Amino acid sequence: MHKQAAIGVFDSGLGGISVLHDIRRLLPSESLIYIADSAHVPYGEKSTEFIIERSLAISEFLLAQPVKAIVVACNTATAAAVTELRQRWPQVLFVGMEPAVKPAVLASQNGKIGVLATTGTLRSARFAALLERFAAHVEVMTQPCPGLVELIESGELQSRVTRELLTRYVEPLLRAGCDTLILGCTHYPLVKPLLRSIIPEHVQLIDTGEAVARRLHSELGKQGLLADAQQPIDHFYGSGNVQKTEQTLALLWPTPAPVSALGF
């Protein structure tokens, strides 16, 4: 694989843009190919079999571009499909996402941690294993957030409806005394400013985008695949309503970016 090849990133929609920002900051010379599978957003309500099928199809598309690494910028898709992806293409670097349980445990002052995530992530064996490994001595409260991904996908980052939904999900965790909240879906950091205005100053928000970018940098470096200094070229693809995806992307990405139809 040539080191100037792009890095592929995919999510069920535009949530992975939060991860893309961290990748761009840490790896400014890398070209990026992002796929928003918005026709099937959110993955958190889909079956494991369906998520595996979509993840395999999208990865096959990315590898044909070609890309030198694939970031599964979705907690639900990582939990459901990353093992299958690594078995199918053992020579390919796949970097996945998982809720930041370990950093949250280290950050919490009172040992009470709240997790905002999709239903799919919270019911996964991968999440259960994270809790068993890192959170045995703290209190973890989980909160599924149906409807939130769809609002973010529609570009409602500051709307009254989004504020009301966020407040409804966060208030039980705050009443329970949580001093640390894990943003367990890549969409959720995109409404971090709104969330910050709802919660007390002392409550910490933890997500994993920066850690994923650091791991990607490290693994590419080990393989001698970090790009030489260049002006990167970014490409965006979407399934479903591409015009709508493009409109929301304009709110999330610093430069104008057309979205091409994925076609499957």
Q: Report cis status (omega within 30 of 0) of the bond before 66.
A: yes
Catalytic residue among 14, 58, 74, 182: 74
Intrachain domains 6-97+209-261 and 101-206 with the same fold: yes
**Which tens digit of pLDDT belongs to each residue from 29-48?**
999 999 999 999 999 889 99
51-67 residue pLDDT tens: 999 999 999 999 999 99
> What's the pLDDT band for 4 if we cut at 50, 70, 90?
very high
pLDDT for 23: 98
Burial grade of 217 (CB within 10 A; 0-12, 13-18, 19 or more): middle
User: In angstroms, rounded to a whole number, what is the distance separating the alpha carbons of residues 35 and 140?
Assistant: 32
Give the distance from CA 263 to its chain's centroid.
22
The answer to whether 185 is a known catalytic residue is yes
Instruction: Please report the pLDDT score of residue 125 as a whole number.
Output: 86
168, amino acid identity: R
Whether the per-residue pLDDT at 88 is higher than 90: the answer is yes
Type of residue numbered 229: A
Average pLDDT value for the chain: 95
Task: Tell me the domain boundaries of the chain.
Answer: 6-97+209-261, 101-206
Q: What is the CATH number of domain 101-206?
A: 3.40.50.1860
Categorize the per-residue pLDDT at 1 as very low, low, confident or very high, splitting at 50, 70 and 90.
Answer: confident
Q: Examine the residue annotation and report whether 74 is marked as an active-site residue of this protein.
A: yes
CB-based contacts of 116, cutoff 8 Å, min separation 6: 143, 145, 169, 170, 173, 181, 182, 183, 184, 185, 188
Please list the residues that pair with 9 across neighbouring strands. Answer: 34, 71
| 6-97+209-261 fold | Rossmann fold (3.40.50)
Q: Write out pLDDT tens, residues 170-210.
A: 999 999 999 999 999 999 999 999 999 999 999 999 999 99
The average pLDDT across 214-236 equals 96
Whole-prediction pTM: 0.94
